[in-house]
Amino acid sequence: MSVDESGNGDGDAVDVGEPDRSLYVESPIIMATVRVVAPFVFTFGLFIMFHGANSAGGGFQGGVTVSTVILMLAVAFGVESTRDWVSPERLVALVGVGVSVVLLMGIGTVALGGAFLEYDVVPIYHFTKYGIELFELGIGIIVSGIVTGLFFGLAAGASGEGSADRDPDDREGLL
């Protein structure tokens, strides 16, 4: 469609192209808000993880809350800059640490002669409480890494990196 500067449709034609459809719009208000809120959300997520044994919450809820900090940073500062900071290798390492913690807690009790996650066999005072908290922390680390990875995978598709002409076996741009 072509219109002149006055919008009448007559005179010299000026091509009106598509508007800029950039996914990231820099907003100082959002950036400042995320800078202030992110540490509190992260701390609240850790609180939920560690108090899952005593109250409502636990590893899954805390992990999702912690991963929202990364999502807030991506909304405020851009997905690409956040993806550069939180690389796929770091996410895989994060999930690996969480799986290691969970397996260590379970297999450690089996090695001491108990059942899987039977903390009473560990000769440490109040280890049941600490064992549950470490297990919840491991679950939270796993969930946080997976939710963040899923977000980056969805963001790659929304930004055009996940186009239909890409090889389905090529997973490079997904995380």
Q: What is the pLDDT of residues 49-65, one digit of tens each?
A: 888 777 777 899 999 99
Share of the chain above pLDDT 70, in %: 76
Q: Looking at residue 111, what is its pLDDT?
A: 92
Residue 14 lies in a domain: no
Residue 167 lies in a domain: no
Quickly tell me which residue has 């919450």 as its tokens.
57
Q: Looking at residue 54, what is its pLDDT?
A: 75
pTM for the model: 0.74
19 versus 82: which is more confidently predicted? 82
Q: Looking at residue 50, what is its pLDDT?
A: 85
Residue 3 lies in a domain: no
pLDDT band of residue 166 (cuts 50, 70, 90) is low
CB 117 within 8 A of CB 38: no
What is the mean pLDDT of the segment spanning 19-23?
Answer: 53
Residue 32 lies in a domain: yes
6 versus 115: which is more confidently predicted? 115
Range of the domain at 70: 20-158
pLDDT band of residue 2 (cuts 50, 70, 90) is very low
Residue pLDDT, tens place only, 92-136: 999 999 999 999 999 999 999 989 988 889 888 988 888 888 999
What is the tally of structural domains in the chain?
1
Residue 54 lies in a domain: yes
Query: Could you count the other beta carbons within 10 Å of the beta carbon of residue 136?
Result: 26
Determine the 3-state secondary structure of 154 from DSSP.
helix
Residue 13 lies in a domain: no
Sequence-separated (6 or more) residues with CB below 8 Å from residue 136 = 49, 50, 52, 53, 58, 59, 62
Residue pLDDT, tens place only, 64-77: 999 999 999 999 99
